Amino acid sequence: MDTVNIDTFAIIGGDLRSAYLAGLLAADGYKVITTGFDSTDLPPCVTGCTNPASAVALADFIILPVPVSTDGTTINAPFSRTRISIDQVLNAVKPDQCVAGGALTSEIHKEAEKRGIKIHDYLKREELAIYNAVPTAEGAIQLAMEELPITIRGSNCLVTGYGRVGKMLSQMLVALGARVTVSARKYSDLAWAGSQGCCTVELRQLAEAGSFDVIFNTIPFPIFNREILSGLDKNTLLIDLASRPGGVDFKAAAELQIKTIWALSLPGRVAPKSAGQIIKNTILNMIKEGGL
Pair (207, 262) in one structural domain? yes
Answer yes or no: is 224 within a domain.
Answer: yes
Answer yes or no: is 291 within a domain.
Answer: no
Nearest to 102 by CA among 62, 68, 70: 68
Mean pLDDT (whole number) for 2-6: 70
Pair (77, 148) in one structural domain? no
Pair (172, 108) in one structural domain? no
| pLDDT band for position 80 (cuts 50, 70, 90) | very high
Nearest to 66 by CA among 218, 243, 217, 222: 243
pLDDT at 2 over 80: no
Q: Which of the 8 DSSP states describes residue 155? A: -
Mapped onto helix, strand or coil, the DSSP state of residue 238 is strand
Pair (119, 135) in one structural domain? no
Question: Are 173 and 152 spatial neighbours (Cβ–Cβ below 8 Å)?
Answer: yes
Question: Are 275 and 139 spatial neighbours (Cβ–Cβ below 8 Å)?
Answer: no
Domain with 229 in it: 128-269
Answer yes or no: is 243 within a domain.
Answer: yes
Pair (265, 132) in one structural domain? yes
Summarize pLDDT for 232-281 with one digit per residue, the tens.
999 999 999 998 889 999 999 999 999 999 998 899 899 999 999 999 99
Pair (237, 199) in one structural domain? yes
Give Cβ neighbours of residue 24 (< 8 Å, ≥ 6 apart).
276, 277, 280
Summarize pLDDT for 178-189 with one digit per residue, the tens.
999 999 999 999
| pLDDT band for position 21 (cuts 50, 70, 90) | very high
Distance CA 276, CA 79 (A): 16
Task: State the greatest distance between any 2 C-alpha atoms of the chain, in Å, as a whole number.
Answer: 59
Distance CA 161, CA 168 (A): 11
| pLDDT band for position 3 (cuts 50, 70, 90) | low
Answer yes or no: is 287 within a domain.
Answer: no
| pLDDT band for position 1 (cuts 50, 70, 90) | very low
Pair (60, 98) in one structural domain? yes
Distance CA 215, CA 159 (A): 6
Pair (166, 112) in one structural domain? no
Q: How many domains does the chain have?
A: 2
Quote the pTM value. 0.88
Answer yes or no: is 283 within a domain.
Answer: no
Summarize pLDDT for 262-274 with one digit per residue, the tens.
998 899 899 999 9
Pair (108, 172) in one structural domain? no
Q: What pLDDT, on the 0 to 100 scale, is given for residue 208?
A: 87
Question: Judging by DSSP bridges, how do beta strands 214-217 and 237-240 pair with one another?
Answer: parallel
How wide is the angle at C-alpha 124 spanned by C-alphas 168 and 242, nearest 5°?
A: 50
Summarize pLDDT for 217-237 with one digit per residue, the tens.
999 999 999 999 999 999 999
Pair (26, 101) in one structural domain? yes
CATH code of the domain containing 218: 3.40.50.720
